[in-house]
């Protein structure tokens, strides 16, 4: 399997601008469910996560719950492969091993975890489940068994610690040619102040809720600095006023 990688507590309504839908990134044109993660600057390791839904493509977004805290890479964020055009001068560009979360707009892959689950497409992690983070390997940016790759290949064990006991694959489009980062997930956080190696992390209860929220085909994840959300208001809700916990 290749990686390219809720409770309703309040309602708010957001009307897209009159700009044409073709100005939106392709993933956003027809999606009806959106996980929007916003942050202040590319060096921010904390962010605000909000969930939105709309009745049809091009319709008004409505907020399903207030913003809640999330953590990003320990070194902040960097523009993911295919989204450099949204950045500003001097913004970081995602590279393997930089400990930054890729910014951009991505589809969700399957949910995963240690325990069995009835969720569709669910990937139950085994003791030998790894994600290959070695750009010299033909299996780069894939989840597989450790038995399927050479012992010399760098991998991330997905069953070695508690962070992956619940999670979601982010379909982040990178390969051995771009070496633009790998193994991007939403997973359980260590704490509200502990940055990740490049993933997005949340409390376990929120990860579980996202696994259910993202079940709808076409659910989309947008990870963006506030400055990049504003030019995309024809297809995204406006950015939060201030990401939670941002410094």
Q: Identify the CA nearest to 81 among candidates 159, 171, 167.
A: 171
Model pLDDT, residue 29:
86
In whole angstroms, give the CA distance from residue 45 to residue 76: 4
Bridge partners of residue 14, in order along the sequence: 61
> Angle at CA 155, nearest 5°, toward 187 and 69?
15
Which tokens hold the place of 183?
């193994």
Q: How far separated are the first and last CA of the chain, in Å rounded?
A: 38
Model pLDDT, residue 10:
31
In whole angstroms, give the CA distance from residue 215 to residue 110: 9
In whole angstroms, give the CA distance from residue 138 to residue 135: 8
Q: Where are the domains of the chain?
A: 24-232
Cβ pair 73, 101 in contact under 8 A:
yes
pLDDT per residue, tens digit, the chain (247 aa), is 333 332 222 333 333 333 333 468 889 988 999 999 999 999 999 999 999 999 988 889 999 988 999 999 999 999 998 898 888 889 999 999 999 999 999 999 999 999 999 999 999 999 999 999 999 999 999 999 999 999 999 999 999 999 999 999 999 988 888 899 999 999 999 999 999 999 999 999 999 999 999 988 789 999 999 988 888 888 898 765 554 544 4
Cβ pair 34, 235 in contact under 8 A:
no
Model pLDDT, residue 134:
96
Model pLDDT, residue 79:
97
In whole angstroms, give the CA distance from residue 121 to residue 144: 15
Model pLDDT, residue 152:
93
Question: Is residue 232 helix, strand or coil?
Answer: helix
């Amino acid at each position: 399997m290749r990686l390219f990688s809720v409770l309703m507590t309040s309602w708010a309504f957001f009307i897209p601008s009159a700009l044409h839908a073709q100005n939106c990134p392709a993933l956003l044109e027809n999606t009806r469910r959106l996980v929007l993660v916003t942050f202040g600057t590319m060096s921010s390791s904390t962010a605000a996560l909000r969930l939105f839904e709309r009745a049809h493509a091009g319709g008004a977004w409505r907020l399903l719950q207030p913003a809640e805290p999330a953590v990003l890479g320990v070194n902040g964020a960097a523009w993911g492969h295919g989204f450099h055009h949204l950045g500003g001068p001097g913004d970081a560009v995602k590279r393997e091993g930089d400990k930054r979360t890729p910014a951009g707009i991505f589809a969700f892959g399957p949910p995963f975890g240690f325990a069995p689950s009835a969720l569709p497409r669910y990937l139950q992690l085994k003791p030998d489940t790894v994600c290959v983070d070695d750009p010299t390997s033909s299996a780069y940016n894939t989840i597989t068994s450790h038995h399927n790759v050479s012992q010399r290949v760098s991998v991330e064990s997905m069953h070695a610690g508690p962070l992956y006991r619940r999670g979601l694959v982010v379909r982040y489009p990178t390969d051995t040619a771009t070496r633009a980062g790998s193994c991007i997930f939403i997973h359980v956080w260590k704490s509200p102040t502990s940055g990740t190696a490049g993933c997005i992390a949340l409390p376990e209860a929120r990860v579980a809720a996202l696994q259910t929220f993202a079940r709808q085909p076409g659910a989309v994840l947008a990870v963006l600095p506030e400055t990049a959300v504003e030019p995309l208001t024809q297809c995204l809700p406006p950015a939060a006023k201030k990401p939670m916990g941002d410094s």
